[in-house]
């Protein structure tokens, strides 16, 4: 079936209703204590998410559908699972908690696509990538699962490009940056940009292939047969005018593509305590570990140790709004007015340093040269000085005391930090934290007026989760396969270490979270169809 341009545009616009996020039913938000109001911790020390819910009475299940595959979640992993199921002729349904498809991400990391081979005439060495990712994971990654991604990511990119050509999309997945980074993105960034636009474009294609989307229908729990095989999902019907529960019988299997745990403070407390208390960078708090919980309730094994952090300053969680040059090594002081780090360390490490500070917050401090210098620099996110001033992220004080009063930190401590920093700059050596003297340029303060730029660490995602075999089947605590249950995207565990690696590597770069989500979504659908025969 071919989609007309009008059909395609209509489908894409329907998926682009991101402005309605705040009104989406079924989304939980943190209360004043920082704990999700629906996820309280029991006095005896057990977390409520660890306790399976009561089974829904049959009288409340008012709809039943029979499919080959039930895909829970309509992000990048769920989208590729849906597209793959459609291409394989499977009868599939996608259950989506929100009223729209939804994901985050800027580029995807895929190696050895046909486009790369045509353009550059050489293949990437998969083993270089596997080795480096294992190193980045400090040995916590599962080498078979990591290799599964790098072995198959190129084919996933080709699959997307072939679909785009088949359905008349004016785009290609191409090399986004220096080809050795293996980042790929849309070729027409004025029309197709970021991964959200990608899955919005792909939803009507999946529907044209017969895949059904059920929005405002979060998965509630999994159903098993007498042998323990997962055979379906009970989902809650939360759409306008709907009530009750839906039973999905899934002949071939269930694929959990529900994202990470970053919006569930209780799960962060157990699985990623360094991120506990941090807020999500995004308005829709969809990622509450729903798939993780459903798998746990049927005996799924969670990875040992902390999940990885993907916590950034951009986009900001601050009500004051975004500000430019979050990565620049200006003097940094915490809410006590004290300098606490070498400001030249890489972006992610700055964020980890911020997570150990009060309220996960610090201020970049500058003197009279700061405004013109910032305005003269390029910021890839296009945040501007003037916008940040208007929003309140940037504050000015004619004196140090005035600035300190505006931002609410002790004036005496701020003065000591500024004077000490300028002393180090004048001497040409940072004997306190070891900053390279080359980074003293454009960061000396010397005289006012004085400026501050507020920064707070916020969660993009906390990837980590369920232990799987190399066919993405969930394992139980005895390392046995739970038949019929597959995971993809950020529900997959044992891939990363303690942080999301993007700095200091020869091969791996940004975009592998999106790349592996799509690749694993595609593979999970293929494996489920094969295993369920």
Greatest alpha-carbon span in the chain: 78
Q: How far is CA 465 from CA 33, 159, 272, 292, 496, in A?
A: 25, 27, 11, 7, 10
Position 506 confidence tier, pLDDT thresholds 50, 70, 90: confident
Residue 9's pLDDT is: 34
Q: Given a cut of 60, is residue 381 above it in pLDDT?
A: yes
- Residue 301 DSSP SS3: coil
User: 179 vs 527, which has greater pLDDT?
Assistant: 527
Backbone angles phi, psi at 435, to 5 degrees: -65, 140
Residue 186's pLDDT is: 59
* Nearest alpha-carbon partner for 516 in 52, 197, 157: 157
Position 34 confidence tier, pLDDT thresholds 50, 70, 90: very low
pLDDT in tens, 78-125: 999 999 999 999 999 999 999 999 888 878 888 888 888 887 777 888
Position 33 confidence tier, pLDDT thresholds 50, 70, 90: very low
Burial class of residue 13 (count of CB atoms within 10 Å of its CB; 0-12, 13-18, 19+): exposed
* Strand 245-256 to 183-186 pairing: unpaired
Whether the model pTM is above 0.95: no
Q: Given a cut of 50, is residue 22 above it in pLDDT?
A: no
pLDDT in tens, 282-292: 755 678 999 99
Percent of the chain with pLDDT over 90: 64
pLDDT in tens, 129-183: 999 999 999 999 999 999 999 999 999 999 998 998 898 887 767 665 555 555 5
Residue 533's pLDDT is: 63
Q: How many residues would you count in the chain?
A: 533
Between 17-26, 98-107, 149-158, 334-343, the lowest mean confidence (pLDDT) is in: 17-26
Taking residues 222-236, what's their average pLDDT? 97
Domains along the chain?
5-17+28-307+463-531 (3.50.50.60), 314-456 (3.90.700.10)
Residue 283's pLDDT is: 57
pLDDT in tens, 450-482: 999 999 998 888 899 999 999 999 999 999 999
Taking residues 345-373, what's their average pLDDT? 93
Buried b (16+ CB within 10 A) or exposed e, 187-197: beeeebebbbb
Q: Given a cut of 70, is residue 54 above it in pLDDT?
A: yes
Residue 124's pLDDT is: 85
Between 346-350, 418-422, 465-469, 507-511, the lowest mean confidence (pLDDT) is in: 507-511
Residue 60's pLDDT is: 97
Residue 17's pLDDT is: 33
Q: At what angle do helices 5-15 and 194-208 cross, to 10 degrees?
A: 130
Residue 519's pLDDT is: 97
Between 42-46, 123-127, 202-206, 431-435, the lowest mean confidence (pLDDT) is in: 42-46
Position 15 confidence tier, pLDDT thresholds 50, 70, 90: very low
Beta carbons within 10 angstroms of residue 428's beta carbon: 8
Residue 175's pLDDT is: 64
Position 16 confidence tier, pLDDT thresholds 50, 70, 90: very low
Buried b (16+ CB within 10 A) or exposed e, 491-525: bbbbbbbbbbbbeeeebbbbbbbbbbbbbbbbbbb
Q: Given a cut of 80, is residue 247 above it in pLDDT?
A: yes
Q: Given a cut of 80, is residue 441 above it in pLDDT?
A: yes
CA–CA dist 518, 103 (Å, integer): 11
Residue 41's pLDDT is: 45
CA–CA dist 185, 66 (Å, integer): 36
Residue 36's pLDDT is: 39
Peptide bond into 489 cis (omega under 30): no
CA–CA dist 361, 356 (Å, integer): 9
Q: What is the strand order of the sheet 183-186 is part of?
A: 108-109, 183-186, 173-175
pLDDT in tens, 404-429: 999 999 999 999 999 999 999 999 99
Position 510 confidence tier, pLDDT thresholds 50, 70, 90: confident
Residue 193's pLDDT is: 56
Question: Two tokens at 213?
Answer: 């989307």
pLDDT in tens, 62-82: 999 999 999 999 999 999 999
Residue 28's pLDDT is: 34
Question: What torsion, rounded to 10 degrees, do the Cα atoms 19, 23, 26, 32 define?
Answer: 100
Residue 82's pLDDT is: 98
pLDDT in tens, 1-12: 434 333 433 343
Instruction: Write down the mean pLDDT value for the chain.
Output: 86
């Amino acid at each position: 079936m071919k989609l007309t341009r009008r059909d395609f545009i209509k489908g894409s616009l329907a998926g682009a209703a991101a402005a309605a996020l705040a009104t989406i039913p079924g989304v939980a938000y943190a209360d004043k204590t920082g704990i999700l109001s629906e996820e309280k911790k029991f006095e005896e020390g057990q977390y409520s998410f660890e306790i399976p819910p009561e089974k829904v009475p049959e009288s409340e299940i008012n709809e039943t559908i029979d499919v080959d595959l039930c895909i829970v979640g309509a992000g990048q992993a769920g989208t590729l699972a849906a597209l793959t199921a459609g291409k394989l002729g499977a009868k599939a349904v996608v259950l989506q908690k929100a009223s729209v498809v939804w994901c985050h991400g800027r580029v995807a990391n895929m190696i050895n696509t046909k486009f790369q081979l045509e353009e550059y005439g050489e293949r990437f060495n998969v083993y270089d990538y596997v080795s480096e990712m294992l190193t980045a994971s400090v040995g916590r990654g599962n080498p078979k699962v990591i290799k599964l991604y790098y072995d198959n990511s190129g084919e996933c990119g080709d699959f997307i490009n072939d679909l785009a050509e088949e359905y008349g999309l004016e785009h290609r997945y191409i090399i986004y940056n220096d080809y050795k980074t293996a980042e790929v993105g849309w070729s027409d960034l004025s029309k197709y940009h970021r991964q959200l636009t990608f899955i919005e474009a792909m939803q009507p294609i999946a529907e044209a292939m017969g895949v059904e989307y059920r929005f405002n229908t979060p998965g509630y729990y999994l159903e098993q047969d007498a042998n323990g095989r997962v055979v379906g999902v009970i989902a809650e019907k939360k759409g306008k005018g709907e009530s009750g529960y839906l039973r999905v019988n899934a002949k071939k299997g269930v694929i959990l593509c529900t994202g990470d745990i970053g919006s569930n403070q209780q799960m962060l407390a157990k699985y990623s305590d360094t991120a506990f208390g941090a807020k999500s960078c995004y308005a829709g708090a969809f990622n509450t570990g729903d798939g993780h919980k459903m798998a746990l309730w049927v005996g799924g094994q969670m990875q040992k140790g902390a999940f990885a952090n993907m916590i950034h300053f951009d986009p900001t969680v601050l009500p004051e709004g975004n500000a430019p040059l979050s990565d620049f090594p200006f003097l940094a002081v915490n809410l006590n007015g004290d300098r606490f780090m070498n400001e030249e360390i890489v972006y992610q490490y700055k964020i980890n340093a911020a997570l150990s500070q009060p309220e996960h917050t610090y201020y970049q401090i500058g003197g009279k040269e700061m405004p013109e210098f910032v305005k003269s620099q390029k910021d890839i996110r296009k945040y501007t000085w003037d916008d940040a001033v208007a929003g309140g992220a940037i504050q000015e004080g004619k004196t140090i005391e005035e600035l300190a009063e505006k931002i609410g930190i002790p004036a005496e401590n701020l003065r000591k930090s500024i004077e000490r920093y300028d002393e180090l700059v004048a001497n040409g050596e940072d004997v306190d934290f070891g900053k390279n003297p080359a980074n003293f340029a454009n960061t000396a303060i010397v005289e006012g007026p004085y400026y501050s730029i507020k920064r707070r660490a916020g969660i993009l995602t906390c990837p980590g989760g369920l232990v799987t075999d190399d066919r993405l089947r969930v394992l139980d605590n005895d390392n046995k396969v739970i038949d019929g249950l597959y995971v993809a995207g950020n529900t997959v565990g044992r891939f990363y270490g303690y942080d999301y690696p993007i700095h200091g590597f020869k091969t791996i770069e940004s975009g592998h979270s999106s790349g592996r989500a799509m690749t694993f979504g595609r593979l999970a659908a293929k494996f489920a169809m094969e295993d369920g025969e």
